[in-house]
Structure formats: structure tokens, C-alpha cells
Amino acid sequence: MSVYSFSEGSSVAKALGQYVKNKYDAAMAKHGKFTLALSGGSLPKVLAEGLSQQKNNIDFSKWEVFFADERIVPLDDENSNYALCKQVLFDALPGFVPEQVHTIDTELLKQEPLDAQAFADEYEKQLVHVFANASTVKVPVFDLMLLGCGPDGHTCSLFPDHELLEEDVAWVAPVTDSPKPPKERITLTLPVVTHALSVAFVTTGSSKQDILPSVIEDSTSKLPSALIARAHPDRVSWFLDDAASAKLDKSVLRVFPFQ
């Protein structure tokens, strides 16, 4: 596991931009497109800043973007991860093709009562379409997962001690009891997240410093972020600022290889 900490937010963004560019290059060389799953929160803004320095080196029309989790709300709702990403990220990327962003099917919002399982099933069908037939692909393999880590150690919409942490069949699961509003969401499941070729957590701010030792240093932690980080440590990187990493043992920190 590679853990990087930076004194300034601009350095976190610069390093993340370079890291994503490297993963993009590897994916393009391998199969001519770049499959990415994104979380919301502060991540899209940091990513947008980092990619602004790589714009001339990336063909954004080759990106295929899913969301690691999404709230079951209209796409223009302030709680929508899509709305956030469109505003701060997608609209700023030259040549980016909106049709290559996979969103929830808003037609399902017309159903009463709201059926979170239907949203999960439809989103999983989109994964099947992109990652080949479900009967031949056990789990989709993303080139990159970009995730956050909450103060409670949650990531995606996978929350501590939740039954969904045991899900090992579905690719996408409904959430109807999120401890954070809105309660109804969909999320990629642990097998999908942990099978990605690379996983990066982008975590900043002092509100994260108490949980990160449990997530990164505790080999027995059952927190969702810890389960992902431990699954394939060689595929996992952390991009932190010094406020978030303040309580980590300094021996776990590495120096980012800026180019």
C-alpha cells in the first residue's frame, strides 16, 4: 500500500492528476479505453484540479465513467454525485463525451413506491454491457477506482457493520438505510471495488485523522475502507493532506514520485 501525504491541497491534486494520467496511459496501451469509477464528496474537485494540469495529455473521449455509489435522486439534485461531478469535473474536461458517463435510470423515479433494488439491477445491467456478458465475467475489472473515506471509515455507500459488506454475488446493491441522507442509494459492492486494477483513496481534512490509523494501520479492522485497502495492498494508494494523516505513524508514509 502506498500512502502519500502533502502539506497543501494543491500538491494532493497535482499528485492525483499525475497518478490518474499514469493509469490512463496503462489502460490505453492495454485495451484502448479507460474505465473509471468515481465517488462524490470533495474528490471530484480535487480530481478536476489535478487533471487541469494533464488536459493536453489525455483523450477524455476514451473514458468510460461509472459512479462508485449514487443517491437515488434526480440528476440535477444537489445530493446527486452526477450533478456534482458534472459541475466541477466533467464540464471542465476537453473532449469529454457526456454519453460515456453511466447514471442511474431516472425513469425509475416515477415508480411508487421507490424501489432501490430496481435502480441497482438497472445499473448492474449497464456494467454488464460495458464489461461483457455476466456469464463470462464474474466481476467487472475497472482500470481505476477513485474513492473517499468518511470519518467513520465508510466508502462508496458501504457503511461500518452493514450487511452489504457480506454481499459477494451482486455487482451493485441497493441501500435503503444510509446513516447519511438521503437514505436511498445504490453502491458498487466489495468484490467489484477490490477487483479494480488500481484503487486510490483521496482523503483530506482533520475530520479524518482519528479514523485513518484504524483503516491503514490496523490489520484486523473491519471498516469498509480497511477491507478494500487490505484486499490487494499493492493496488492501493492513499492521497492525504497533512491534516488527515496527522495521527498516522510516519513510517507508513512515502514520498510521491513527482515527474
Residue 247 in any domain: the answer is yes
Domain contains 162? yes
Instruction: Give 200's contacts (C-beta < 8 A, 6+ positions apart).
Output: 16, 19, 20, 144, 145, 146, 147, 236, 237, 238, 239
User: Structural domain tally of the chain?
Assistant: 1
Residue 144 included in any domain: yes
Q: Does any domain span residue 242?
A: yes
- Which structural domain range is residue 71 located in? 2-252
pLDDT value, residue 259: 75
The separation between the first and the last C-alpha atoms of the chain, rounded to the nearest angstrom, is: 20
> What CATH number did the domain enclosing 136 receive?
3.40.50.1360
Would residue 258 count as lying in a domain? no
Pinpoint the alpha helices (H) of 133-241. Answer: 190-194, 212, 224-231
pLDDT value of position 52: 95
Helical H runs in 68-194?
81-88, 116-130, 190-194
Residue 136: per-residue pLDDT: 63
Q: Is residue 101 part of a domain?
A: yes
Look at residue 233 and tell me if it is in a domain.
Answer: yes
Q: How far is 164 from 206, CA to CA, in rounded Å?
A: 28
Q: Which residues contact 72 (CB under 8 A, 6 or more apart)?
A: 104, 109, 114, 116, 119, 182, 184, 185, 186
Does the residue 42 lie in any domain? yes
**Per-position pLDDT tens, the chain of length 259:** 999 999 999 999 999 999 999 999 999 999 999 999 999 999 999 999 999 999 889 999 999 999 999 999 999 999 999 999 999 999 999 999 889 999 999 999 999 999 999 999 999 999 999 997 655 678 999 999 999 999 999 999 999 999 999 999 999 999 999 999 999 999 999 999 999 999 999 999 999 999 999 999 999 999 999 999 999 999 999 999 999 999 999 999 999 999 7
